[in-house]
Every structure is written in C-alpha cells, then in structure tokens.
Structure 1
Amino acid sequence: MKLLFIGARLFDDVALYTKKMGITTVLTESNPQALNLDLADSHHIVPRGMELPKEIALKEDVDGVVPLIGIDGPLIDVALLKEDLETNHGLPVVASPLDAVSISGDKIKTKEFLLENNIKTLDYTVIDSNQKNQRLELNNFPLVLKQRQGQGGKDIKITLSVEDVHKYLEHYDGALVEKFLDGIEISVEILRWKGHSVPLVPVYKGNTTLDCIHPLNKIKKAPLAADGVNSHEHNQAIRMIAQKIGDLIGVEGSADLDLIFDKVNRKTYVLEINTRPSGTRYLTAASSDINPLHEMVDMATGSWDTNSVRERIKEYYALEIPVGDYISNRNSYKFREFHGENDWIIHGPENYQRITIRGKNKEDAFRTAKQLKLNL
C-alpha cells in the first residue's frame, strides 16, 4: 500500500502510524525548509497548487491521497484535485468535495446554509462601507465583525461603539456582523467517508473574551462541561448536530464544527464549519482514543469502518495547555500517540508549543499537569 500525502506540516502526526501499518509514504511540499520531509519514504518539493501533486500521484501509482492541509486557502484546489482523481482515475482523495468547501469557506454562505436547514446560528447582518450605520444601534454593542473568508481569528474585531465599526470599515469594504455573546467556545470533529459519519467528542475551548484571545492561547478541555446543563445530554446533542451538518453538506475526511454556548439563555449556536483537520485533534485523540488523522489514513487505504470507530471510542478526561517552549525530548513524531489511561504529548512549533494530557479522570489529568509543573 502506497499513499501520497500533500503538506509536510502535519505529517509528523501520521508518520509513526504509517510506519506501523507498513504503508509506503510519498510526500509533496512547497517549502524546501519545511519540517518532517525526511519522515516520509520519499518527498518532492513542488510549486504551490495541485498540478504537480496530481502528476506525482499518478506517476508513483499510489493507492490514495491524503491532503494534510490545515489552512483554508488551498481547499478549493484540493477539492478540484479530488474531483479529477476520483472521477477520472479512481483514486481516493481524503478531503471534502467542492460543494462542501464552497459553503464552509464563505461565512455568509455558511449562515445561509444553516438557516435554510433550521440549524441554530446567531442572527447576523451584512454591512458595507457605504452603510456603516445599518442596523447598528448603540445598545446592540458589543458586536463581532468578520470577513466572509478567513480563519484563526484573522480579520475579526469586537467593536464597542459605532466609532469602532467605522475604524474597521476603513480597512475593509464590508463585514458580517453578529452580536457578541458571553459564552463558551466549542469544537467537535466529524469523521465522514463514503456516506458514513462519526461525530467525535465536543471540546471546551474557553470562554469568549472581548479582547479576542484565540483558543490556541487558552486552556482547553474535553469532554465539554458547561454549567447549568446535563453534560452527557449536551454533548450528545452537539454530536448529533455535527453529524446532521456533516451529512447535509457532504464533508469527507476530517472536518470540525465551531459552536458557541450562550451562558445566559443556555442555548448552543453553530458558528462555522471547517472542512480540514482541526486544531483540537490532540484533545480529541486524548479524550476519545480516536486520532482523526489516523482515521484519514484508514479511509485512504479502504480499511475505515464506522462500526469499528464507534467500538474503539473511549472516555478519558483531557487537558491542553499552551506552554510556549517546554524543554522535553518528547516533541517528536515518535511520541505522538497516547498510551494507557494517563499520558501526555507535547506538540507544536517553537514558541507555540502545547501539552495535551490524558487522564483516566479529571483528577488524574490535573495531577499530571502538576507533575509537569504547568501553570493552570
């Protein structure tokens, strides 16, 4: 079995697994200085775009293609590559199709999709620089302004006044506007392949803040526990929402759903759909024992089975803590799998490292954090 992987940045998360499974790996990457190139059996430096990866996939006679792309920009090109290779060459590409990417990559289209399917999402309006005061009464603040494309908090601004809105629109032609909620940020990953889906564990990503602190800089936990609601029922409801959306939009591979829980009215709203590997994948793996990227490998090899995934799901408690830089010889692909009931993994680039901890329960996870001398 031979697989082509597109993108080196996340390859260290699958390198150990592919070696264990006896899979020959071919890697393409546009950055010659990228990490992880030597972890593959062979690699090719290619220009940006999907033309050369396609040629290499066909020349190398691989059995499947796994794009390991964690950013939105190339996803349309990946979807077009998928359509070509699957339709014309019978070669599976573990990524979402064009329709799903077109909706998920545009926040306005996402809103329209959610409303058309009666899925709870925050009320919104769209303004442009010539209509700065449209539906912006002073008592509506704070408001969240977003661009229709973008990820990771990019181009998002929480505004406290009309003047703030005006300043934002000095840099943009318009904005999608939502009410700011005092709430909890949530993610849940969805695995889906050939019409079959498995939603995984909802992850607590921290409270919303007026200064737009990104979840990567917060302590995150799984499974989700929100005050004032039954955690099991709440998590199951979120998983069912994720499965419904995954099936309706037709995602494939690994995708994730961003939601927000309103602390005041105790309601959960869907914010975004991301048709790419999630930044919460380590928490998912720690708490459920299901590694989404490993599952993508199984999809490419034809061995993925939803019943097997459901049977393998376990229930642990997980913590993820940003550490900046943490001296350890475990930040390596050789230590990227959790073992047993209590374990920890360090991951991430220099200055942005995080430690994800698995515990049999909450007490065990916090005990490990204390032993590692982490600030909680």
Structure 2
Amino acid sequence: MPSITVLITSAGVATACNIISALKKQKEKEVKIVAVDTNPLSAGLYLADSRYIVPRSTDPQYIPKILEISKKECVDIIFPLHSSETMVFAKNTDKLKHAGLKLQIANPEAIDICTDKLKFHGFLQSNGFLCPKTYHPMNILDILKNNEVNFPLFIKPKEGSSSKNSFKIENIEQVHFFINYIENCIIQEFIKGTEYTVDLLADENSNLVAAVPRERLEIKDGKAVKSRTVKDNVMISLCSEIIKKLGLTGPANVQMIKSGEKLYVIEINPRFAAGGLPLTTASGVNIPLLLIKMLLGENIDKMPDFQENLYMIRYLTEIFLEPDIEGVYRLSE
C-alpha cells in the first residue's frame, strides 16, 4: 500500500491532535503526518511523524515555507486547520495545486461570508434560513429605547472563534459596557434551547459527502467537552441546503440551536471542528480519512452511517519533552 503524506497546520490547536489521532486509528491508508506550527511547544508537533516551525500565516514567507517543507517531505495533501489560515490557503490554492499539492478548501467569497457574522446573518436571511435577529451596536440603543427587543440578548465579536468575548446580556447597563468592551461586535437575540454541531464534509461541487450531528452537552472555551451523537435528518438536510447555497467545499461544521420545534442556524466554520471531531470519528465517520479519499479521486458512493447516541467525555492528557537544541525539543523517554 503506497504511503500518503499529509501536512497539517496549526499543530498547537486541539483539532490537530484530533486529526492525527483519527488518521492513526484507521487502517485503510498508510499515512505519514507532517505537522507545522509557530510554537515549538505545540502538542501536535510531537504526535506527528515530522515537525517544523513556520512563520505566522500573516507572514509573506508563510506559504513559501509551506511549499519548501512540502517539497522536502514529498507532501501529497494539506489540511489547513485554524480559522486564521483558511483565507490564506484559499487565496493561494492555485499556487499550491501548481506545486502538486492537493487540498479542499472553500473559495474566498464563501469563507468571507462564514467569517463575518454580520454577512453570514445577511446570507441566512436572504436565503430564508431561520436565524437569531441580529443588530449592529450602533443601532441597538435606539432599538432598545423603542422597546423593539427584549432581554436577554447575546453579544459576540463580528469575527472570531472559540466563543471568545461572547456574553449573555441581561440589561441596558450591560449593553453599554459590552459594546465598549468588545471591539467590532454584533448583538443577537438570545435563543434558549439545545445546542448542536453538525460535522460535515462537502465535495468540490458542494454536495454533502458526510454529516454527523451531535448535541453539545457541556462546552468550555467554545469547544464541546461532553457530547453525544444524534440522528436528525432535518439537521442534515438543512446543512445540505446551506452548503449548496454557500458553495462551500471541504470540511466544515454548522452550529445550531433547537428551540421547541424551531431550528436556528447560528454559525458555520469552514474547517474541521475543534472539540467534537473525536466523537464523529468514534461514531464511524472518519472525516479526515474521507477527505484524503476524496482528494485522491476515490469514489464515496453514499453518506456513511454512524452510531447514534454515542457519548463523548473529553479530558486533558500530557506530552513530556526535553530540550534538544536551542528552541527545539524532543520527546522525553
């Protein structure tokens, strides 16, 4: 069986460790993993077969460094993992493919809509998808004066991930505080209900290849630490519609809230999920492996089935390192 070499970026995020684990557990493909990050103390570096330190994705030398490493390691496929990198890779897709590298990432327009929560709200509204009412901070005070909205509300950055600087607002005093505390924010009606994430994979024509909904039972830092799989065809069909309308390709995850019989779309991240991916893998749908197959041109006949009502409880584990040379480490024996 010929080996496939996959380069994963941002090895310091939980997603990297989850993807490495998913690829090491499967037995269908022999996969060599090359991991890169800006920080030598990134866990995923030491779970991979090869590791490299790279500049930040905003550095003009980032893509040239990725190309240099890819040539040295005979990389076949790239998995961009962090939200901050998706646009960089989307804009350099042609250059990477010209170098013989394979990747499946959304186009810049779709990424821009997903990243900008105000634009995403506009997309949902214009296409008839149910979503929370959303307000610009410049207008919210006048709207509140006219009693056009009710508390509680929810405030979060216009761009960002991991629920950083996202807060429930109970009164007008908190509105005044948070619109000054959070730069470039949006305010939404607070939807009380059950939170779900759907992990998915879409092909180059924005057709759904795989989808696994999971209930988020407990969340820390925007990531599910306790979760369970659910079979919900309504959620999956809704995701299929949204992905097709957006023209989204590759891995993504859709966040929703179910309130009574209503299903609200909250956000889409055009990348692998950070928290719940191990549950999706354990339920029988190995999205990193499916993406490799898809990029190799293998036919995926039908959406894979998954185990319903499988629970996940996450915990931290440790990696121990020793200094090797200046600024570099090795695994402690």
- Report TM bin, short chain: 0.7 to 0.9
Residues 48 and 13 (structure 1), Cα distance of their counterparts in 2 relative to 1, 3 Å cut: same
CA displacement 1:246-276 (0-9 Å, x = unmatched): 222222221010011113xx21010101011
Residues 272 and 148 (structure 1), Cα distance of their counterparts in 2 relative to 1, 3 Å cut: same
Residues 186 and 299 (structure 1), Cα distance of their counterparts in 2 relative to 1, 3 Å cut: same
Q: Structure 1 vs Structure 2: percent identity of aligned residues?
A: 25
SS at structure 1 position matched to 2:141:
coil
Q: In 2, Cα distance between the equivalents of 1:253 and 1:33?
A: 29
Q: In 2, Cα distance between the equivalents of 1:214 and 1:100?
A: 25
User: What is the identity, as a one-letter code, of the residue corresponding to 1:205?
Assistant: R
User: Could you say which residue in structure 1 is the equivalent of 2:312?
Assistant: 320
Q: In 1, Cα distance between the equivalents of 2:29 and 2:224?
A: 34
For the Cα contact (< 8 Å) 2:202–2:251, is it kept in 1?
yes
Deviation of 1:173 after TM superposition, in Å, equals: 4.6
Q: 2:285 aligns with which of 290, 310, 314?
A: 290
Query: Is structure 2 residue 146 aligned with structure 1 residue 143?
Result: no
SS at structure 2 position matched to 1:133:
helix
User: What is the identity, as a one-letter code, of the residue corresponding to 2:292?
Assistant: V
User: Could you say which residue in structure 2 is the equivalent of 1:341?
Assistant: none
CA displacement 1:69-88 (0-9 Å, x = unmatched): 1x3222211222324223x3
SS at structure 2 position matched to 1:141:
coil
User: Could you say which residue in structure 1 is the equivalent of 2:38?
Assistant: 30
For the Cα contact (< 8 Å) 1:79–1:98, is it kept in 2?
yes
TM-score (norm 2): 0.80
CA displacement 1:49-84 (0-9 Å, x = unmatched): 2321123224544322222x1x32222112223242
Q: 1:45 aligns with which of 39, 45, 53?
A: 53
Q: In 2, Cα distance between the equivalents of 1:103 and 1:313?
A: 30
Residues 215 and 221 (structure 1), Cα distance of their counterparts in 2 relative to 1, 3 Å cut: farther
Q: 1:197 aligns with which of 201, 208, 233?
A: 208
Deviation of 1:221 after TM superposition, in Å, equals: 1.6
User: Could you say which residue in structure 1 is the equivalent of 2:235?
Assistant: 238
For the Cα contact (< 8 Å) 2:212–2:306, is it kept in 1?
no
What runs of 5+ residues in structure 2 fail to find an aligned partner?
Answer: 320-333
CA displacement 1:103-127 (0-9 Å, x = unmatched): 1111011111111221111221112
User: Could you say which residue in structure 2 is the equivalent of 1:107?
Assistant: 117
For the Cα contact (< 8 Å) 1:3–1:63, is it kept in 2?
yes
Q: In 2, Cα distance between the equivalents of 1:132 and 1:194?
A: 40
Q: In 2, Cα distance between the equivalents of 1:280 and 1:22?
A: 24
SS at structure 1 position matched to 2:137:
strand
User: Could you say which residue in structure 2 is the equivalent of 1:257?
Assistant: 254
In terms of mean alpha carbon deviation, does 181-190 or 247-256 score higher? 247-256
Q: In 2, Cα distance between the equivalents of 1:191 and 1:15?
A: 16
User: Could you say which residue in structure 2 is the equivalent of 1:369?
Assistant: none
Query: Is structure 2 residue 63 aligned with structure 1 residue 63?
Result: no
User: Could you say which residue in structure 1 is the equivalent of 2:329?
Assistant: none
SS at structure 2 position matched to 1:93:
coil
Moved over 6 A (4+): none
More relative contact order in 1 or in 2 (CA 8 Å, sep 6+)? 2
User: Could you say which residue in structure 1 is the equivalent of 2:91?
Assistant: 80
For the Cα contact (< 8 Å) 1:132–1:166, is it kept in 2?
no
Residues 188 and 217 (structure 1), Cα distance of their counterparts in 2 relative to 1, 3 Å cut: closer
SS at structure 2 position matched to 1:78:
helix
Q: In 2, Cα distance between the equivalents of 1:323 and 1:39?
A: 17
SS at structure 2 position matched to 1:40:
coil
User: What is the identity, as a one-letter code, of the residue corresponding to 2:40?
Assistant: P
User: Could you say which residue in structure 2 is the equivalent of 1:3?
Assistant: 6
The count of corresponding residues between Structure 1 and Structure 2 is 302
Deviation of 1:44 after TM superposition, in Å, equals: 2.0
User: What is the identity, as a one-letter code, of the residue corresponding to 2:7?
Assistant: L
Residues 126 and 83 (structure 1), Cα distance of their counterparts in 2 relative to 1, 3 Å cut: farther
Residues 306 and 119 (structure 1), Cα distance of their counterparts in 2 relative to 1, 3 Å cut: farther
For the Cα contact (< 8 Å) 2:76–2:102, is it kept in 1?
yes
User: Could you say which residue in structure 2 is the equivalent of 1:268?
Assistant: 263
Q: In 2, Cα distance between the equivalents of 1:48 and 1:61?
A: 22
